[in-house]
């Protein structure tokens, strides 16, 4: 899959080796990684850019996120810019993994978005980090939105969906997807059928 990697430019001074390690792991797992906007750029130079240059960077970031399957963030060093792009990725229904050297905190912990995964890791445990990234990438395959079908509903059903979407601050489509995901996790008969199919393939 294609991964859009992001991390604080200001944090590169202390964490560049960590950034490169995460990128290396993603590539070892066979994924394409977009990361030059972090690895090849300097925070001081970016701070000197004009508004037009910042606008161009934003449009390029937006396009790269749209072209990617998932977004992976090293979020230990706080960044408003990364928060903006993270929200953009979620709005595009892209699975997002946020990795923290410190313990995750704040609103990210409370966000129920099924596409958002927040994980604590240690620099000294590369295998554990690799396993966590691998697990996220494998789960993300099942979350990619690639299929479409027509769905007819009544006025009453639409009224309810609009109400619940406003109340929960999510789209109607996301609410329906969440209902299906919840049903999948509770449907033991379906789980048995999946296990049977996998055993049959082996």
**CB distance 121 to 132 below 8 Å:** yes
Domain co-membership, 91 together with 189: no
Q: What is the pLDDT of residue 163?
A: 94
pLDDT by residue (tens digit) across 54-79?
899 999 999 999 999 999 999 998 88
- The answer to whether residues 91 and 145 touch, using CB atoms and an 8 Å cutoff, is no
In a domain, 148, yes or no: no
Residue 147 lies in a domain: no
- Given a contact cutoff of 8 angstroms between Cβ atoms, the answer to whether 7 and 19 are in contact is yes
CA–CA separation, 168 and 165 (whole Å): 5
Q: What is the mean pLDDT of residues 46-54?
A: 86
**Which pLDDT value is given to residue 23?**
96
DSSP 94: -
State the pLDDT at residue 183.
83
Q: What distance in Å separates the CA atoms of residue 2 and residue 79, rounded to the nearest whole number?
A: 23
Task: Give a yes or no: residue 150 inside a domain.
Answer: no
Q: What is the mean pLDDT of the chain?
A: 85
The reply to whether 53 falls in a domain is yes
> Are both 30 and 66 inside the same structural domain?
yes
Are 70 and 132 in the same domain? yes
- What's the domain count of the chain? 2
14 sits in the region (left: phi over 0; alpha: psi -120 to 50; else beta) called alpha
Q: Are 129 and 172 in the same domain?
A: no
User: Which pLDDT score, from 0 to 100, does residue 198 have?
Assistant: 43
CA dist list (Å): 133 to 136, 140, 196, 199? 5, 10, 27, 26
- Are the C-beta atoms of residues 118 and 98 closer than 8 Å to each other? yes
Task: Using the predicted structure, report yes or no on whether residue 89 has a pLDDT greater than 90.
Answer: yes
Q: Please tell me the total number of residues recorded for the chain in this structure.
A: 202
Burial (CB count within 10 angstroms: exposed 0-12, middle 13-18, buried 19+), residue 75 = buried
Q: Are residues 70 and 159 in the same domain?
A: no
d(CA 167, CA 43): 39
Q: Which residue range(s) make up the domain with 173?
A: 155-201
> What's residue 147's pLDDT?
66
104 and 175 housed in the same domain: no
Q: Are 201 and 137 in contact (CB under 8 A)?
A: no
Triad 151, 90, 167: Cα angle to 5°: 65
* Least confident segment among 43-47, 50-54, 135-139: 43-47
């Amino acid at each position: 899959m294609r991964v859009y990697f992001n991390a604080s430019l200001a944090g590169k001074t202390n964490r560049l080796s960590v950034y490169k390690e995460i990128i290396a792991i993603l590539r070892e797992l066979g994924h394409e990684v977009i990361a030059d906007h972090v690895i090849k750029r300097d925070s001081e130079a970016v701070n000197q850019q004009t508004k037009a240059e910042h606008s161009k960077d934003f449009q390029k970031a937006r396009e790269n996120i749209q072209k990617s399957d998932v977004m992976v963030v090293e979020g230990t060093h706080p960044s408003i810019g990364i928060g903006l792009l993270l929200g953009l990725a979620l709005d595009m229904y892209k699975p997002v993994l946020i990795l923290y050297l410190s313990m995750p905190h704040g609103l990210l912990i409370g966000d129920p978005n099924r596409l958002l995964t927040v994980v604590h890791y240690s620099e000294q445990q590369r295998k554990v980090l690799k396993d966590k990234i691998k697990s996220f990438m494998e789960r993300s395959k099942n979350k990619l939105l690639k299929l479409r079908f027509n769905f007819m509903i009544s006025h009453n059903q639409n009224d309810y969906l609009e109400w619940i979407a406003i109340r929960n601050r999510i789209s109607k489509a996301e609410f329906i997807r969440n209902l299906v995901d919840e049903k999948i996790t509770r449907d033991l008969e379906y789980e048995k059928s999946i296990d049977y199919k996998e055993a049959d393939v082996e």
